[in-house]
Amino acid sequence: MTVMYAASRDALAHIRSLAEDLIRQSEQSVVLGQQMGAELFTVVEIIEKDRPTRIAVADVSATPQQRRTLMTSLIENKVLPETLRVCQEAAGLDWSNPADLRDGLVRTARSALLQAAELSNSLPQVEEELFQLSRTIKAHPGLEQALGDRRASADERRALLAQLLYGKVSAISEILASQAVARPQEGLAADDLDILSRQAAHEIGRRVADVTTPIALNDAQREALRKKLHGIYGIEVSIHEVINPAILGGVIIKVGSGIINGSLASKLDSLRRSLV
């Protein structure tokens, strides 16, 4: 994601907090979180369609009320009252540049969707779905290229993704993935999905362990590894498993900046060096 300066960071924290409070206080918090997230993505698309609007809605030379009025004119009666309130508040705040306002709305949308997943006890499922989708896209270069083809419209890229996802993931994962394909925050959509998966893990108080193995772990092995890592790091760990036959045997585990290289290939390499 783009680096935000102080004014934008403060504005983002404010609207995120507002959205979180509105969702938490609602009698239908899961429904509101999911719909608010989807609507905020739509609002960003509306703003981005017109360059003068992109600039005007975050123009610090205009008064906060003028910017809120413009935002209201763009989306009133198109979104929920709670979504409108978040957008009005965002428009009334000072951002370091116009792009930060749009990025702020995207980040708030993602947080709202992950909050809805957490409230519905489906956040671990969303985390796993986003990670697996990221791996699937990266494993098929043609698909990754098609989903990242900027010559195709956002709707065309979303339609391609929908064919891949139909009936296979939760509604929240589908909304997040669709936005990542249409407007990735981090280069390619697969990278963005991986970041979202890690954000989901963070939301439920977990660290992510990137585990490379020559063949897939079975459920018992995965659970044993999870318990072992919990003992080492003192925190619940989500396992993001990557298959790489080149390591021959064993596992390579990366948690943050720490790496445990227990691969057979690494042991053979060490043996070769010792014989030289």
Separation between Cα atoms, residue 271 and residue 118, nearest integer Å: 47
Confidence band for 203, pLDDT divided at 50, 70 and 90: confident
Question: Which has the closest alpha carbon to 247: 237, 261, 227?
Answer: 261
In percent, the amount of the chain with pLDDT more than 90 equals: 83
pTM of full prediction above 0.85: yes
Question: Stretch 135-149: mean pLDDT, rounded?
Answer: 92
Q: How confident is the model at residue 186 (pLDDT cuts 50, 70, 90)?
A: low
Measure the CA–CA gap between 182 and 52, rounded to whole angstroms: 22
Domain ranges of the chain: 1-120, 121-204, 207-274
Residue 58: pLDDT band (50, 70, 90) is: very high
In 3-state terms, what secondary structure has residue 116?
A: helix
Average pLDDT over residues 115-121: 97
pLDDT, position 184: 75
Asked whether residue 72 carries a pLDDT value surpassing 60, the answer given is yes
Q: Is 242 helix (H, G, I), strand (E, B) or coil?
A: strand
Structure tokens at 199: 């954000």
- Average pLDDT, stretch 209-229? 93
Q: Where are the alpha helices (DSSP H) in the chain?
A: 6-25, 29-48, 51-56, 64-75, 81-92, 98-119, 123-139, 141-147, 154-165, 171-182, 189-203, 219-233, 264-275
Per-residue pLDDT band for 23 (boundaries 50, 70, 90) equals very high
Q: Which residue has the tokens 């993602």?
A: 110
In the chain, what are the helix, strand and coil shares in percent, each to the nearest 5?
Answer: 65, 10, 25
Q: How far apart are CA 168 and CA 175, in angstroms?
A: 13
Q: Let me know the angle formed at the C-alpha of 153 by 147 and 155, rounded to the nearest 5 degrees.
A: 80
DSSP for residue 3 = P
Q: How high is the pLDDT of residue 268?
A: 63
Q: In what order do the strands lie in the sheet with 207-213?
A: 237-243, 207-213, 252-255, 258-261
